[in-house]
Every structure is written in C-alpha cells, then in structure tokens.
Structure 1
Amino acid sequence: MRIALVSETFTPADDPSARVTREVAVRLTAAGHDVVVFAGGRGQATFHGARMFWASRMTPVSAVREAMALSRPDVCHLLDPHRLGLKAAEAADRLGVPTLVLEPRRWGPGVDLEHHHPGLRDEALHDRWARVHAPDGGRLVVLHDGPLDRRKVVGRLATVARLPGVRLVALGDGAGADHLRAAGAKVVPRATGVERARCLATADVLVQPRKKAAYAPVLLEALASGVPVVAFDSGTATRAVRHEENGLLVTTDRGGKALARAVARLAASPDLRFTLAAQARASVADRTWDDAVADLLERHYPRLVGSGPTAARELRVEGIPH
C-alpha cells in the first residue's frame, strides 16, 4: 500500500505529533509499505526507507499537490492537522486521494513496553525529588512532560506545585520554567531517551494539564512504567486512562483547580494511588506500537483504498477543526 503521512512536525523534533508520526512511519516501512512523510521544517531526504517532503509556512498548496501526485498514495493520513495538514487535505482532494483524520476516541498512539517499564524506577532519585530527608519531606512526586510555554498549562502546573505534600517535577523548558521554579517545582530542561524513561518511571503520578492535545504518547509511557495518570478527559486520555482504575480523569469543562484537587486526592490516599499503579502497566499491555499500526492497516486504511474522489471529499474533513 502507498501511504502519505502528514504531520506538522517530525524528527528531530520530539513533540507528540512528531513522535507518533515517526513510530507509524517506521512500522509501515518495515512491513513493506511505500511511505512518504509530509512534514513541517527541514531535514533529511529519507527516514527508515520513507521519503520526506519538507514544507514551510510559505509552501503553496500547488507544491504539496505536485509532491503528492508524484508519490501516488492510496491513502493520505493526517495526524493532528493544522496549517500543513489543511494544505495536504486540499491537495489530496484535488487528486482524488482518500484522506483520513482519526479522532483519539477512534485511534490512539502505542507504547514501547520494553523501553518503558517499572524496573527503571530510581529510588534514590525519587527520594531527592520527594525531599525525604527534609522536615517537610516525603512528598508525592508528580511529573509533567512537555514544553512550558503555554500560559494556561503553566498556570495549572503551578497550582499543582503549590499543593501541600506535593513536589512537581517538570521535564521540559520554556518561558514558564522560572514561574514553576518559584512555585516550588523542580524543572529538568533536557531529558531524552533512557534518562527520560527513568524519570517517568520514578514519578508517583503523571499529570497532563493540556485539554486539547490530540496525541499524548507520554500517558501510555507513564502507565507502562507503572505510574498512574491524572488528566483531562480528552485526546489520548479518553482511550488510555480509565477513571479510578489506572488514573483519574477530570472533565474538560473544569479548570486547573479541579485538576489539582484530583492530584491532592492521590496525595491524601496512598492506598488508592498504589491500587492505580498496580493496574497501570497491564492496562496498556495490548497497545504496543505494533498493535496501533496493525489497527491502521487492518481497520482504518482498507475502508478508504479505492473509495474514490467522492469518499475522499466526505472524509477529508473528518476530525479536522473548522
């Protein structure tokens, strides 16, 4: 099958959309499929056998359409589409290529169970983060993984950081880093690969303060590491987190204080936290990246192949924000 994957970012970027696209591309090419990745930015000409088409904000739809015509895809899969995604959708529509956008409730990312597991937990690091030897020590270690540049996200994290008995650890950097430090958080600007996986496994709880993140692989990575999740009921959390089974969900019509109250509940309820942690890894055991890509190949892509231009127009707007 010939497949066009469209993402606003790609490797070496490490944001969720880039990571999801990377994992999908690697497995599709390994399975023998012909893949072209349309991505924003600049980089190498190929990636694990997939051809790359890099675009900027100024790249016209005509150039995207020409590249897509040359690659002749059977399916155009848009992952969390925005500016480039909309250009690719228009180009695919003009070429009669069926286009797919999957909402997180229909399809979500996978997780590498070998790379993320509870055995990576570092008790000495946890004790330092929890300040076990300080007069107010023994805190709940709550981890956030992601950029610190959105005001609302930083505000919600600061509310969590100020909770009594809680130590927020933020993996990431951005304009809000100093604000979080002032609120008592530990900020780790750069953590990648095994070090990042170790940090995830060392936390007591992962918090996801974003309401509109379409894909958040870190939620599955935390669960695979035996760490329960507190998140808003949106995006990846709708599939990955089961309320009061492997984490706590907060409805998106609630704000940062509600998210903080959910974290405070776990800080005050060690038995609940341990119960959630005990069920975390098993809850994602059937959602490896191989499982996620097999789902695309067996369930989602086949219904589009050969569907023609009419179906392409109907599916082009599926899940794309208007």
Structure 2
Amino acid sequence: MRYAIVTETYPPEVNGVALTVQGLEQGLRERGHDVELVRPRQDGDLDIAADTLLVRGAGLPRYPGLKFGLPATRTLRKRWQSARPNAIYVATEGPLGWSALRAARQLGIPAATGFHTRFDDYMRDYGAPWLQGVALRWMRRFHNSAQATLVPTRELQHFLQGQGFDNVVRLARAVDTRQFDPARRDRGLRRQWGVGDDGFVAIYVGRIAAEKNLPLAVRAFRELQKTRPEAKFAWVGDGPAREQLQRDNPDFIFCGVQRGEEVARHFASGDLFVFASHSETFGNVTLEALASGVPTVAFDYGAARELLRHDVHGAAIADGDDAGFIEAVVRIGGDDLLRNAMRMACRNAVAALRPEQVAEDFDRILQSLARNGGPHVAAAAT
C-alpha cells in the first residue's frame, strides 16, 4: 500500500506530536508500505529523502524552532495526481492539514486525522476561556472533513463523540521499553545535579509552557522541600516559560532539550515525575516515566487514566484537585520505601505495550479506509 502522512511538526522538533507521528511513519515502513511524508521545511534541512515533500512554513508565535505549514492545496493535488496514495493521515490541524484534507477530498482519496492536541483547553491556559467553544467547533469541522478521527484513549473517544465528532476511532499508544528503562539510571548524572544515591530528584520532562500548568508543579515541590530541604528539581525541555521559571527559581536544574538515549537517561535518573498538566490529549511522557521505573504524580485523564494506578505507580489525582496533587507529591516524594516499591510496578504497567502492535492497528485502519472508503469499516477494525 502507499500512504501519505501530513504533519506540521516532525523531529528533530521535540514534542509529543512529532515523536508520535515519526513512530507511526516508521511502523508503516517496517510493515513494508511506501510512505510519503509531507511537512514544512525546517532550518537545517539538507539531505531530504525522495519520499519526503517539503512545503513552505512560518514560525509559530511564542514557540521558537517550531513552524506551521502554509496552505499547499495545489501542490498536494498535483503531487497526489501523479503518485496517488491509497489513504492519507493528517496529524495536525494547521493550514497544511486543511490543505491536505481539501486536496484529498477533491481527488477522492480517503483520509484519517489524528486528534493530538486539546486546543480548546489551551484557550483557558492562555487566558481566553471564552474561546474554548469556538476552538472545539473549529476542530470538529476539521476532523469531520475526514473519514475517521484517531484518538489515543477511550475517555477522549467518548468525549468527542458527545461533542458531535464523527467516526472517532481509538488507536492506542505504546512506549519503547528498550529505550526507556530503569537500567539507564546514571549516578554520574545525579552527581552533576548535586544528588547522591540517597538523595531525591523530582523531574519534569516536556514543553516548558503555560499549558503545562507549571506553577502547580513548583508549588508542590516547594511544599515537599519543607520536609525534604535537600530535594532537587530537574527540568528537561524548553519553551516560552523557561526564562521566567529559571529567573524565579535559581535553585532548579535546567537540562535543556534531550533526545533519544539522553532523555531516557535523564528520566531514569529522577525519583518522582511531577506532571501537573491538565491539557494533554494523551501524555506520552507518562508512559516514558513508567517505563523508566519512575513513580508519577499526574491528573487522572489521558495516559494516567489508562495506565497509572493510584498508590501503585504513583498518584492519579482528580482533575482540578490541586491540593490533592500537592499532597501526593509531598507524601510520595518523602517516602523512599514507598517509591522503591512503586518502581518495579511502574515498569510492569507498560511492559506489554508494543509499538509494533500500534503500527499493525494503524495499518489496519488505513487499509480499511483505502479498500472501503467509508468510516464504519474503519471503526470496526479497531
């Protein structure tokens, strides 16, 4: 089969969408399919594979290094007329994504979209809650232009169905447990952080941005320090809020963006993953923390609801219960014996998740669209 994947973010950009899309692409290739990747041109692009189509892009405000694709309907229609895909997957809702759906519709090519980002929740996080309804309607119009909308959890599937999204299909996520492994815990890295074997490091991995609810993570850590003053907080990632966060908290350790084995080494060298975000569609970092044997405190939705068991792998806190979140960080962060008991349970929670199974399920969904063109068969395939 020949597939096209359209995305406005892709490695070396580091974010959950980029890495998820790359994993899906690689999974299809490993299953023997021809895959064309369509994305904006990135700074530093040199040796580009023949099966990659680069389009014009523009910088994303407040997110240095990230771009969105500019409209490209005519380019895509011409490309797909000469080399027609059996089905396309559109991962992002930007101008390039809209162009891809428009070109696919004009050519009669079946399409699936991925619901990766809760832009409606972002409106709240950036001080415009009155725009949440507008954002949700805009996303519904985009995704209903395709034959299927792929989501990672049953919770999100049920929510979108209740909001009028058509043919919402669950495609589960997985984590590479060969990359993320407790064995990557690094005493040398911990010494760089000023922590010995018996010390404590809270860790955050992800975008350092307003939508991640970072002030709550800081408050929780400061409460923990009242009983564990030697505790450190390591931050892995970058983003528009980093400068202010670093200025306000000079004792925090900022590690910058880490990739591949390095991010796995950083994850495994932490003692508690403090993840206060309440705007995740899924939260791949939750799986990565569990695979790394790091107990996790997160709100009870997305990946946490699917896999994190309260008081077994850390704490799953009811969304909005900030006091409960802080209490869990203080309680688990202050109890070394409890965390040690949780470490193996964390690893076991994700041991059965296999990227190969995700690739197989994704392939089956796209094949059902290619062969039947209708949404009902795609839904039945999952």
TM range (shorter): 0.7 to 0.9
The whole-number CA distance in structure 1 between the counterparts of 2:80 and 2:280 is: 27
Aligned pairs (5 A) from 1:141-290: 141-150=201-210, 153-163=213-223, 164=225, 165=228, 166-181=231-246, 182-183=248-249, 184-252=251-319, 254=320, 256-290=322-356
Q: Using a 3 Å threshold, how does the CA distance of structure 1 residues 234 and 71 change in structure 2: closer, same or farther? A: farther
The whole-number CA distance in structure 2 between the counterparts of 1:149 and 1:75 is: 35
Q: Using a 3 Å threshold, how does the CA distance of structure 1 residues 152 and 45 change in structure 2: closer, same or farther? A: same
Question: Out of 110, 113, 119, which is 2:183 matched to?
Answer: 119
1:266-287 CA distances to partner (integer Å, 9 max, x unpaired)? 1234343233211112221222
Other-structure match for 2:108: 96
Q: Does 1:40 align with 2:40?
A: yes
Q: What secondary structure, in the 3-state scheme, does the structure 2 residue paired with 1:239 have?
A: helix
Q: What secondary structure, in the 3-state scheme, does the structure 2 residue paired with 1:17 have?
A: helix
CA contact (8 A) 1:205 1:230 kept: yes
Residue 76 of structure 1 and its aligned partner are, at CA, apart by: 1.8
TM-score (norm 1): 0.81
The whole-number CA distance in structure 1 between the counterparts of 2:302 and 2:81 is: 32
Q: Using a 3 Å threshold, how does the CA distance of structure 1 residues 266 and 44 change in structure 2: closer, same or farther? A: same
Residue 46 of structure 1 and its aligned partner are, at CA, apart by: 4.5
Q: What secondary structure, in the 3-state scheme, does the structure 2 residue paired with 1:3 have?
A: strand
Query: What amino acid sits opposite 2:346 in the alignment?
Result: A
Q: Does 1:7 align with 2:7?
A: yes
Other-structure match for 1:319: none
CA contact (8 A) 2:180 2:292 kept: yes
Residue 146 of structure 1 and its aligned partner are, at CA, apart by: 1.8
The whole-number CA distance in structure 1 between the counterparts of 2:47 and 2:103 is: 21
Q: Does 1:296 align with 2:308?
A: no
The whole-number CA distance in structure 2 between the counterparts of 1:69 and 1:245 is: 53
CA contact (8 A) 1:38 1:55 kept: no
Consecutive unaligned residues in structure 2, runs of 5 or more: 58-68, 113-148, 154-169
Task: State the aligned residue count.
Answer: 307
Residue 180 of structure 1 and its aligned partner are, at CA, apart by: 3.2
CA contact (8 A) 1:80 1:214 kept: no
1:42-64 CA distances to partner (integer Å, 9 max, x unpaired)? 345745x7433434243233333
Aligned pairs (5 A) from 1:43-58: 43=45, 46-47=48-49, 50-56=51-57, 57-58=69-70
Residue 169 of structure 1 and its aligned partner are, at CA, apart by: 0.9
Deviates more, 1:152-161 or 1:276-285: 152-161
Query: What amino acid sits opposite 2:37 in the alignment?
Result: V
CA contact (8 A) 1:16 1:216 kept: yes
TM-score (norm 2): 0.70
The whole-number CA distance in structure 2 between the counterparts of 1:238 and 1:84 is: 32
Q: What secondary structure, in the 3-state scheme, does the structure 2 residue paired with 1:64 have?
A: helix
Other-structure match for 1:318: none
Residue 152 of structure 1 and its aligned partner are, at CA, apart by: 5.5
Q: Using a 3 Å threshold, how does the CA distance of structure 1 residues 66 and 178 change in structure 2: closer, same or farther? A: same
Q: What secondary structure, in the 3-state scheme, does the structure 1 residue paired with 2:369 have?
A: coil
Q: What secondary structure, in the 3-state scheme, does the structure 2 residue paired with 1:170 have?
A: strand
- Which fold has the larger relative contact order, with Cα–Cα distance below 8 Å and residues 6 or more apart in sequence? 1
CA contact (8 A) 1:53 1:67 kept: no
Query: What amino acid sits opposite 1:156 in the alignment?
Result: L
The whole-number CA distance in structure 2 between the counterparts of 1:230 and 1:185 is: 19
Residue 158 of structure 1 and its aligned partner are, at CA, apart by: 2.3
Deviates more, 1:114-123 or 1:229-238: 229-238
Consecutive unaligned residues in structure 1, runs of 5 or more: 316-322
Other-structure match for 2:28: 28
Q: Using a 3 Å threshold, how does the CA distance of structure 1 residues 311 and 240 change in structure 2: closer, same or farther? A: same
CA contact (8 A) 2:70 2:96 kept: no
The whole-number CA distance in structure 2 between the counterparts of 1:302 and 1:288 is: 20
Give identity over the alignment, percent: 26
Residue 243 of structure 1 and its aligned partner are, at CA, apart by: 3.3
Other-structure match for 2:143: none
Query: What amino acid sits opposite 2:285 in the alignment?
Result: V
Residue 73 of structure 1 and its aligned partner are, at CA, apart by: 2.0
1:139-161 CA distances to partner (integer Å, 9 max, x unpaired)? 53221112223266332332233
Query: What amino acid sits opposite 1:289 in the alignment?
Result: P
1:212-249 CA distances to partner (integer Å, 9 max, x unpaired)? 33353332222221112222334443434333332322
CA contact (8 A) 2:41 2:54 kept: no
Query: What amino acid sits opposite 1:295 in the alignment?
Result: D
1:159-218 CA distances to partner (integer Å, 9 max, x unpaired)? 233232343210122343344333342111243333222111111122333323335333
The whole-number CA distance in structure 2 between the counterparts of 1:102 and 1:157 is: 30
Query: What amino acid sits opposite 2:150 in the alignment?
Result: L
The whole-number CA distance in structure 1 between the counterparts of 2:311 and 2:103 is: 44
Alignment root-mean-square deviation, CA: 3.1
